[in-house]
Amino acid sequence: MINFLLKRLLAIIPVLLGITLLLFFMLRMLPGDPAQVLAGQMASPQDVEMIRTQLGLDQPVYIQYASFLNRLVHLDLGLSARTQNPVIQEIWARLPNTILLSLCAITMACVFGIPAGIIAAVRPYSWVDYLVTIASLFGISMPVFWLGIMLMIVFSMTLQWLPAGGIGTWKHLILPTVTLASFVVAFIARMTRSSMLEVLSQDYVTTARSKGLKENLIIIKHALKNALIPIITVVGLQFGLLLGGAVLTETVFAWPGLGRLIVDSILARDYAVIQGSILIFGLLYTLVNLVVDLIYAFVDPRIRYE
């Protein structure tokens, strides 16, 4: 297990380098002087000059990249052109909100999506199966921001049961969580269904049935356990979609998270913040993929020994 863990951790390094390389060149692809771009339109010539020396823009590119990495390691992402606060501080203030929202959404998606997929697979071509299939197709076709707006119109404005936006109590969490989970729950249900269908036709399930085992036991102990790997893969992959969806959901519900920060920064051309928050999203996604791999190894011992 430790070997596997080490191997997996080592494999992350090139990905991390890739992410930083992409972001490093992102700023340099913009027309104009990177120092001016980072400082913002309103900056004084002294500020621009300070950033220029700080970034070492008169040095060769590989030294610039090395110093960029060095600053990253020290969590120095520069200053926001809009607020003049350190970028890392802006990100820290919002990251917990995004993580909270994403975790609630992925939990809800699993809690509803996996059972829905199992029920659909156990009774294929029944009305339950059609219901799950159609509902999940609707789920993946619906724009999350529109669903959010519709939920807001019904539950906040018409019925006045839940707050329309902002943050604070658990009540504020409900609508954004449902909105964000809708898309992912559909994917998870679809994947669970097809994975379970495949496993349920295997010989060992037939054997278990012919031994006279209870159907519930067969489904949970024999089938689900073996169908889990593709399901976990999809949950991990969907986390990426979830982060993308978080940008939209946070905008709809005025949720002060990282997604909202990116959009505001793009609108204000605050490139230091854009660079920093996209970096954090990339890291978060890489981390989730790592956790997914570790869960694989935990669920399926065969993977550990490969």
Partner 1 sequence: MNDIDINTKNNDSDSVGDIDSSSSRGWAKLKRNKAALVGGIFLLIYIVCAFGAPVLFWGNPSAPDLINSLSPPCAKYLLGTDELGRSILGRILYGSRVSLMIAVGVVGVGLLFGVPVGLISGYFGGKTDFIIQRFTDMLLAFPGFLLALALVAILGVGLKNTVISIGISMIPIYIRLVRGCVLTVREEVYVEAARASGTKDRHIILRHILPNVLAPIIVQTSLGMGTAILFAAGLGFLGIGVQPPTPEWGSMLGSARAYMMGKPHVATFPGIAIFLAVLSFNLLGDGLRDAFDPRSKI
The residues of the shown chain that bind partner 1, judged by CB under 8 A, are 14-15, 18-19, 21-22, 26, 29-30, 137-138, 140-147, 149-150, 152-153, 157, 187, 190-191, 194-195, 230, 234, 240-241, 243-245, 247-248, 251-252, 262-263, 265-267, 271, 274, 278, 281-282, 285-286
Shortest distance, position 15 Cβ to partner 1, whole Å: 5
Calculate helix-pair angle for 170-200, 225-252, nearest 10 degrees.
150
Shortest distance, position 19 Cβ to partner 1, whole Å: 5
Q: Which is nearer to partner 1, 50 or 294 (CB)?
A: 294
The answer to whether 226 and 196 have CB atoms below 8 angstroms apart is: no
The answer to whether 89 and 97 have CB atoms below 8 angstroms apart is: no
The answer to whether 30 and 23 have CB atoms below 8 angstroms apart is: no
Cα–Cα nearest to 249, from 236, 260, 264, 262: 260
Shortest distance, position 214 Cβ to partner 1, whole Å: 29
DSSP 95: H
Q: Which is nearer to partner 1, 79 or 234 (CB)?
A: 234
Name beta bridge partners: 79.
86
Q: Which is nearer to partner 1, 181 or 252 (CB)?
A: 252
Q: Which is nearer to partner 1, 118 or 144 (CB)?
A: 144
CA 257 – CA 85 distance, rounded (Å): 17
Shortest distance, position 37 Cβ to partner 1, whole Å: 10
Q: Which is nearer to partner 1, 217 or 287 (CB)?
A: 287
Helices assigned H by DSSP within the chain: 2-29, 34-39, 45-55, 61-73, 87-122, 127-141, 144-151, 170-200, 203-210, 215-217, 225-252, 258-268, 271-299, 301-304
DSSP 125: T
Shortest distance, position 197 Cβ to partner 1, whole Å: 10
Shortest distance, position 99 Cβ to partner 1, whole Å: 15
DSSP 76: -
Shortest distance, position 212 Cβ to partner 1, whole Å: 29
Cβ partners under 8 Å of residue 87, min gap 6: 77, 78, 79, 80, 272, 273, 275, 276, 277
Q: Which two tokens stand for residue 25?
A: 């060149």
Q: Which is nearer to partner 1, 164 or 213 (CB)?
A: 164
Q: Which is nearer to partner 1, 4 or 145 (CB)?
A: 145
